[in-house]
Amino acid sequence: MQKILFDLDIYPYQIDFMGHVNNSVYIQWMEVGRVKLLDALAMPTHEIAQQGFAPVLVQTHIDYKSPLYLGDRAQVELWLSELRGASAVMEFRFYNDQRVLVAEGTQTGLFVNTQTLRPKRLTADERALFTTYLASTADVHSS
| pLDDT, tens only, 22-32 | 999 999 999 99
The side-by-side arrangement of strands in the sheet containing 73-83 is: 4-9, 73-83, 87-95, 101-113, 53-64
Residue ranges, the chain, pLDDT below 70: 137-143
Global pTM value:
0.92
pLDDT (0 to 100) of residue 141: 46
pLDDT (0 to 100) of residue 139: 59
Q: Which residues span the domain enclosing 34?
A: 4-142
The partner residues of 79 in beta bridges, in order of sequence, read 91
Count of domains in the chain?
A: 1
SS3 assignment, position 57? strand
CATH number at residue 22: 3.10.129.10
CA distances from residue 67 to 44, 47, 90, 102 in whole angstroms, order as listed: 32, 36, 22, 6
